[in-house]
């Protein structure tokens, strides 16, 4: 399933948003969404944390955001929301709440009209395809749009030049994905066969990659495969969770290229010493030709995630448990 329309719109929509950035003071970004849509936002927060001394970023699950009611939410806030079909009720309510506080409200969605759009100042339509397929427009996939917003914000406000490097790098992301697919089909199938009967699989990462670990744990493993899981932060691992590690406990470790890589490397050493069921997804193993060195740390999670989506599809096939299977979501009231 490919949505062609956004290709025409996303960049034009972003241009309008950048104009709006110019018109107001922005000191605080709130990333607000639920589940997988929230996990998408972790890399963008990592970017803002690292690059700006004047604009800070927070991530909240939509309902937590509304009920917590952060006092720092104001006219100087940018609230970025995301809901795949724009129908997540909590996220729509969060957009409305943010507008009532005078914030600039920008929402991402895959569809062109939706309740969430009605409560937003601006929307961006991203491109999306199902797991295990090639991304025809990686430059406007959800993660890319989120980076364009964050890097575009600092480009407009602080002259940060990562935005330009992002744009040229995104043009080459498709060919990076293509090589990952060509070179790893056998590997993900082998992993799927090896781990298809596991009852629990932990994921782990740090820095820009943590959101990918979270997303894979809660959306793919728990939601789509009904496998017990938990995304462990690679730094926190040594302060409790590592006691659970044993030769029969599977771990997926994501290794990125950002500044927190030493945390993931430390976890790797320990995993190798005391564990045996390991899937190591290391961005260093992928050919990143065309990705500007200065943004490789930021874009590595997208490449690791592409690998994870291949693995998700392979796992679902090996288990005869399609990724679309649900027992509660959209099926019962909640």
Angle at 270 between CA 269 and CA 276, to 5 degrees: 100
Name which of 209, 227, 210 is nearest 218 in CA terms: 227
Q: Which is nearer to its own copies, 38 or 184 (CB)?
A: 38
Q: 3-class DSSP state for residue 107?
A: strand
Roughly how many angstroms between the first and final C-alpha of the chain, as a whole number? Answer: 28
Distance, CA of 118 to CA of 20 (rounded, Å) = 18
Distance, CA of 201 to CA of 239 (rounded, Å) = 19
Q: Which is nearer to its own copies, 180 or 263 (CB)?
A: 263
The CB-of-200 to its own copies minimum distance in angstroms stands at 6
Residues near its own copies (CB under 8 A): 28, 34-38, 46, 49-54, 56, 58, 61-64, 67-72, 74, 88, 90, 200, 206-207, 217-219, 222-224, 226-230, 233, 235-236, 238-245, 259-260, 262-263, 266, 270, 274, 326-329, 334
The CB-of-65 to its own copies minimum distance in angstroms stands at 9
Sheet containing 56-61: give its strands across.
Answer: 56-61, 28-33, 77-82, 104-109, 122-125
The CB-of-268 to its own copies minimum distance in angstroms stands at 12
Q: Which is nearer to its own copies, 70 or 136 (CB)?
A: 70
Q: Which is nearer to its own copies, 66 or 187 (CB)?
A: 66
Tokens describing residue 231: 């995304």
Q: Which is nearer to its own copies, 18 or 242 (CB)?
A: 242
58 beta partners: 30
The CB-of-87 to its own copies minimum distance in angstroms stands at 12
Q: How far from chain centre, in Å, is Cα 257? A: 16
Q: Which is nearer to its own copies, 106 or 224 (CB)?
A: 224
The CB-of-25 to its own copies minimum distance in angstroms stands at 15
Distance, CA of 81 to CA of 38 (rounded, Å) = 8
The CB-of-29 to its own copies minimum distance in angstroms stands at 12
């Amino acid at each position: 399933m490919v949505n062609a329309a956004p290709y025409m719109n996303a960049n034009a929509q972003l241009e309008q948003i950048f104009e709006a950035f110019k018109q107001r003071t922005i000191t605080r970004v709130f990333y607000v969404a639920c589940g997988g849509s929230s996990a998408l936002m972790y890399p963008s927060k990592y970017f803002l944390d690292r690059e700006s001394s004047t604009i800070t970023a927070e991530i909240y699950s939509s309902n937590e955001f509304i009920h917590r009611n952060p006092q720092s939410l104001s006219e100087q806030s940018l609230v970025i929301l995301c809901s795949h079909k724009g129908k997540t009720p909590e996220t729509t309510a969060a957009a409305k709440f943010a507008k009532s506080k005078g914030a600039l409200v920008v929402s991402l969605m895959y569809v062109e009209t939706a309740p969430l759009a009605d409560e937003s100042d601006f929307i961006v339509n991203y491109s999306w395809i199902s797991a295990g397929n090639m991304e025809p427009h990686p430059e406007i996939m959800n993660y890319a749009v989120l980076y364009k917003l964050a890097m575009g914000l600092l480009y407009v406000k602080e002259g940060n030049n990562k935005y330009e490097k992002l744009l040229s790098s995104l043009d080459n992301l498709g060919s990076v994905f293509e090589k990952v697919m060509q070179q790893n089909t056998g590997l993900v199938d082998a992993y799927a066969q090896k781990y298809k009967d596991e009852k629990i699989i932990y994921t782990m990462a740090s820095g820009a990659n943590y959101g990918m670990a979270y997303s894979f744990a809660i959306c793919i493993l728990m939601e789509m495969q009904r496998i017990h899981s938990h995304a462990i932060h690679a730094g926190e691992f040594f302060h409790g969770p590592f006691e659970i590690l044993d030769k029969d406990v599977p771990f997926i470790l994501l290794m990125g290229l950002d500044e927190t890589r030493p945390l993931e490397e430390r976890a790797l050493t320990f995993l190798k010493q005391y564990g045996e069921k390991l899937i190591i997804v290391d961005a260093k193993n992928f050919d990143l030709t065309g990705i500007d060195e200065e943004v490789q740390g930021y874009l590595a999670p997208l490449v690791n995630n592409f690998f994870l989506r291949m693995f998700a599809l392979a796992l679902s096939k090996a288990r005869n448990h399609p990724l679309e299977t649900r027992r509660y979501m959209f099926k019962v009231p909640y």
